[in-house]
C-alpha cells in the first residue's frame, strides 16, 4: 500500500527587471504555470511508500513443528525433488503448535485488511551459458510453461482451502480464493547447468506493489538461497 507525500517546491520570483512584460508574454507565463500544476506555490507529487505490516517467511516441517529456512542445500539430481517449502505469516526461527492451515488462520487474524493481500513468489538464478532467469510468479502455471522449465520444475499447493490428501494447484483451478501457501521445486533435465544459488522469494502484495516493469517493490517479503551441494 502506498501513501502520498507532499513535496513543497517554492517558486523563485524574478526581480530587478526594468523591461515591461507584454500582454501576450504574460498569457504565455500564466499558461506555463497552469500546465505545471503549480497551485499557490505548492506542487504535489506521489511517491511510493509501502506500509504493509505482514510478516512472512518460508519454513520446512510437518505435524505442527516448522523451522524457518535461510540457506537450503540440495544435490539437485535430475528429476529429483529439491524441497517443499511452506509459508507461515511469521519470521520466528521456529513455529510450533498447529498445522499450516491453522497457523495461517491464527496469524492472518492479527492483521487488519489482511485479505486485501495475496501471496506471490520470485525465482532467480543463472546458468553456465550466461542466461539469467528472474521470474515473478503470481499464479500457478503448468510446470512446463515456466521460462526456466528446462532447469527447474515448480508446483504450488493450497494448504488453506484443502484437507486430507490433495494435489498441486492446476493452472485452470486458480481463482481469487486460492492461496499459494506451499511451493515444491524439482530439478529438471538441465539442472546441472545452474551455476548460481537459486534465490526463492515469497511476498505479500496488493495492486500497487509493482514497478512499471513488473518487479515487486514492497517490503513484506522473505528470501532464501538454495545452494547446490557436492554429490
Contact assessment for residue 154 and residue 123, using Cβ atoms and an 8 Å cutoff = yes
Residues in the chain: 231
Give the full edge-to-edge strand order of the sheet including 94-96.
94-96, 65-68, 57-62, 81-88, 182-187, 152-157
**How far apart are the C-alpha atoms of 114 and 118, rounded to whole Å?**
9
**pLDDT for the residue numbered 55:** 97
**pLDDT tens, per residue, the chain with 231 residues:** 554 343 333 333 334 444 344 445 545 445 554 444 444 444 555 688 898 999 999 999 988 899 999 999 999 999 999 999 999 999 999 999 899 999 999 999 999 899 999 999 999 999 999 999 999 999 999 999 999 999 999 999 999 999 888 999 999 999 999 999 999 999 999 999 999 999 999 999 998 999 999 999 999 999 999 999 875
- In a shared domain, residues 44 and 120: no
Domain count, the chain: 2
- In a shared domain, residues 145 and 78: yes
**How far apart are the C-alpha atoms of 134 and 116, rounded to whole Å?**
26
- In a shared domain, residues 147 and 100: yes
**pLDDT for the residue numbered 44:** 54
- In a shared domain, residues 20 and 82: no
| Domain end marker among 11, 26, 49 | 49
Nearest to 153 by CA among 109, 196, 191, 119: 191
| pLDDT (tens digit per residue) in 101-148 | 999 999 999 998 999 999 999 999 999 999 999 999 999 999 999 999
Residue 214 belongs to domain spanning = 57-228
Give me 210's grid cell: 509493482
Reported pTM: 0.80
Sign of CA dihedral 177, 163, 142, 140: positive
- In a shared domain, residues 149 and 207: yes
Q: What is the DSSP code string of 98-110? A: S-HHHHHHHHHTT
- In a shared domain, residues 122 and 38: no
| Domain end marker among 33, 49, 65 | 49
- In a shared domain, residues 143 and 184: yes
- In a shared domain, residues 68 and 148: yes
- In a shared domain, residues 96 and 44: no
- In a shared domain, residues 94 and 172: yes
Cα–Cα distance list, 75 to 78, 87, 108, 213 (Å) = 9, 23, 35, 34
**pLDDT for the residue numbered 75:** 93
Give me 195's grid cell: 551455476
- In a shared domain, residues 140 and 32: no
- In a shared domain, residues 149 and 45: no
Amino acid at each position: 500500500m502506498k501513501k502520498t507525500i507532499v513535496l513543497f517546491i517554492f517558486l523563485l520570483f524574478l526581480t530587478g527587471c526594468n523591461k515591461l512584460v507584454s500582454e501576450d508574454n504574460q498569457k504565455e507565463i500564466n499558461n506555463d504555470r497552469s500546465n505545471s500544476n503549480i497551485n499557490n506555490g505548492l506542487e504535489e507529487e506521489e511517491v511510493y511508500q509501502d506500509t504493509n505490516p505482514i510478516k512472512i517467511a518460508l519454513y520446512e516441517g510437518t505435524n505442527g513443528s516448522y523451522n524457518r529456512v535461510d540457506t537450503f542445500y540440495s544435490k539437485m539430481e535430475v528429476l529429483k525433488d529439491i524441497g517443499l517449502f511452506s509459508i507461515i505469516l511469521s519470521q520466528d526461527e521456529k513455529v510450533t503448535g498447529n498445522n499450516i492451515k491453522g497457523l495461517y488462520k491464527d496469524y492472518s487474524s492479527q492483521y487488519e485488511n489482511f485479505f486485501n493481500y495475496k501471496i506471490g513468489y520470485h525465482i532467480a538464478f543463472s546458468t553456465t551459458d550466461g542466461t539469467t532467469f528472474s521470474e515473478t510468479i503470481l499464479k500457478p502455471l503448468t510446470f512446463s510453461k515456466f521460462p526456466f522449465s528446462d532447469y527447474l520444475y515448480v508446483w504450488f499447493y493450497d494448504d488453506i482451502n484443502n484437507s486430507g490428501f490433495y494435489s498441486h494447484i492446476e493452472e485452470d483451478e486458480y481463482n481469487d480464493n486460492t492461496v499459494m501457501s506451499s511451493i515444491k521445486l524439482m530439478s529438471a533435465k538441465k539442472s546441472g547447468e545452474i551455476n548460481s544459488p537459486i534465490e526463492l522469494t515469497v511476498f505479500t502484495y496488493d495492486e500497487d506493489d509493482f514497478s512499471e516493469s513488473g518487479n515487486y517493490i514492497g517490503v513484506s517479503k522473505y528470501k532464501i538461497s538454495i545452494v547446490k551441494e557436492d554429490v
